[in-house]
Amino acid sequence: MNINPYVSLAKGEMSKNQTMLNKFKTERDELQTILNDISSAEQKNVSGISSFCPYIIFVRLDALKSKDYPNRIAQNSVYLEFEVDLIEKKVELHTNGSIWLSPYDREHKYKYLAMKSMVNVLTDFGGKKFRKQSFKNMKDLAARMENYYINVMEAVKKYTDNKYPYKEGTLTEEAA
């Protein structure tokens, strides 16, 4: 008997596959419920569970309402998206939004760029990047993602002078 879940999913063992798919869907729904309860994000979206790679889900915590997306494009938003592996119980930051540079940054620090990512905003203010980490259960996972989201949004609000929808940095020479 093969105990490796990757192989059993690939071989097409229907009863085991259906059991695992149901388990993954239950975990995804549980995470969505927990995030709806605890997250301060404007939008919380848990997606994934496809037949191609059912054990990977993506969790998006968005600071903007969908009507406020620049050019109505979701990737232009201020968001963090996490990739969660339900078999290995690992989570890592997949993608994140960007913010227009402040005049000071454009002149002194990032001369050849127009934007910087939300993670760069956090690291510029002394925060740490989100590394690949393990989690015990869905509550632990939701707490880790929410804590990181809160830290990033504090830095973003500081950088943009708390002006919703956080489009452009307002950092000045005194604050740098």
Q: What per-residue confidence (pLDDT) applies to 152?
A: 94
Q: What is the pLDDT of residue 1?
A: 43
Q: How far is CA 76 from CA 59, 67, 73, 98, 132, in A?
A: 17, 12, 6, 7, 24
Q: Which pLDDT does position 68 carry in this prediction? A: 82
DSSP collapsed to 3 states, 86-154: CCCCEEEEEEECEEECCHHHHHHCCCCCCEEEHHHHHHHCCCCCCCCEECCCHHHHHHHHHHHHHHHHH
Q: What is the pLDDT of residue 110?
A: 81
- DSSP 8-state symbol, 101: P
Give the pLDDT confidence score for residue 12 in this predicted structure. 53
Residue ranges for the chain with pLDDT beneath 70 = 1-16, 49-51, 168-169, 171-176
Q: Is the peptide bond before 70 cis (omega within 30 degrees of 0)?
A: no
CB 135 within 8 A of CB 31: no
Dist. CA 105–CA 114, nearest whole Å: 10
